[in-house]
Structure 1
Amino acid sequence: MKREIARPYPDGRCFYCGPDNPQGLGLRFYHDEATAETSTEYLPEERFVGQGDILHGAIQMGLLDELMGWACYVHTGEMAVTTDMRFKFRRPLYIAGTPVRAACRVTGRDGPKVHMVAELVDAVGVVCLTATGTYHILPPERFEAVVRAKPPVSG
């Protein structure tokens, strides 16, 4: 049975999932225990066009990166950061007024490293982008230090 995942992130400004970001996508994520799959749907917006009517590749890659972070959290109950991602663009993903679906499965865990595969599929079921990723689980205090750190000011 598919259920919506409660947002684990305290900051609501995330571009992909943050409810407090008026420029963001406001994605919601779901997990299906029967298939062990984490997923989201997104209606591509014209403002993210690349060339022609193709959804910009950076937005596509970001969708899968965000999804993998949520899948890692569902699988482990812990926060993690991206350490490695590999993408394969298989077909153009056109902005066509129809939602696309992103789905992810955890394929394994090696200590603090969680390995996943994901895909982005258009409205007619064509796989347009695939990815593999590794996320590194951080203890809560380390995760907090990473996300709250301020970048150095250049002068």
Structure 2
Amino acid sequence: MKKIINPWRNHPEYNCFGCCPDNPIGLHLEFYEDGDYIVSKWNPQHNYQGWVNTMHGGILSTLIDEVCGWVVTRKLQTSGYTVQLNVKFKKAIPTTEPELTIRAKVAKQVRNLVYINAEIVNSKGELCNEGEAIYFLMNQEKAKEMGFLHCEVEDE
């Protein structure tokens, strides 16, 4: 796995809840490229519960949405936004879970829409959540206008 270099890190208005390392209430996700997949590891916390000792579904949906966004950033080398997000909650995730693996890859692309499949797996390797996101892809000119130039991995 190769660590993805965050292309937004020097943007003056960057404060993403999912991936900005400086957002005090954010998830601080980092991403890696592993073949066709974009992968992140994350440790649940008590403050992200919905029900007692159980992860909030909105936070789990955010994890899926965020990794899908990074598929667009790295694999398609552009920026975009979520058009649709569907999440299946298959197994409850306790806030005490040691580590989650979130991963996603492109399923198909139709013109400026990309369909991305994602999943969240617990530390035992059990599938807990599945997701499908549809992202609208910005053309290179619009992506550049938004501050995106390219996304690289370390040692590239």
In the superposition, the TM-score normalised over structure 2's length comes to: 0.85
What RMSD, in angstroms, separates the aligned Cα atoms of the two structures? Answer: 1.8
Q: 1:79 touches 1:143 (CA, 8 Å); kept in 2?
A: yes
1:13 partner amino acid: N
Equivalent residue of 1:50, what SS?
Answer: strand
Give the equivalent residue in structure 1 for 2:116.
Answer: 116
**Where does residue 54 of structure 1 map in the other structure?**
54
* Number of corresponding residues: 144
Residue correspondence of structure 1 range 7-26 to structure 2 within 5 A: 7-9=6-8, 10=11, 11-26=13-28
CA distance in 2, matches of 1:47, 1:115: 31
Identity in percent: 26
Q: Which amino acid aligns with 1:133?
A: A
Look up the match of 1:5: 4
Structure showing greater radius of gyration is 1
Conserved in 2, the CA contact under 8 Å of 1:109 and 1:115?
Answer: yes
For 1:74 and 1:93, the matched residues in 2 are separated by 28
Partner of 2:31: 29
For 1:134, give the aligned amino acid: I
**Stretch deviating more after TM superposition (14-23 or 36-45):** 14-23
Structure 1: unaligned runs, 5 residues or longer = 148-155
Gaps of 5+ in 2: 148-156
Q: Measure, in 2, the Cα distance between the counterparts of 1:117 and 1:90.
A: 15
What residue number does 1:106 align with? 106
Matched letter for residue 32 of structure 1? D
> Are the equivalent residues in 2 in contact too, given 1:106–1:116 (CA < 8 A)?
yes
Supply the AA of the counterpart residue of 1:117. Answer: N
* Distance (Å, rounded) in 1 between the aligned partners of 2:115 and 2:58: 21
Q: 2: CA distance between counterparts of 1:30 and 1:98?
A: 19
Query: Given residue 31 of structure 2, which amino acid in structure 1 is its aligned partner?
Result: F
Letter in 2 for 1:27: L
Please say if 1:80 is aligned against 2:76. no
Please tell me whether the aligned partners of residues 12 and 20 of structure 1 are also in contact (alpha carbons under 8 angstroms): no
What is the aligned partner in structure 2 of residue 136 from structure 1? 136
Deviation at 1:108, TM superposition (A): 1.1
Q: How does 1:135-154 map to 2 (within 5 A)?
A: 135-140=135-140, 142-143=142-143
CA contact (8 A) 1:12 1:21 kept: no
Quick one: distance in 1 between partners of 2:100 and 2:50? 16
Q: How much has 1:49 moved relative to structure 2?
A: 1.0
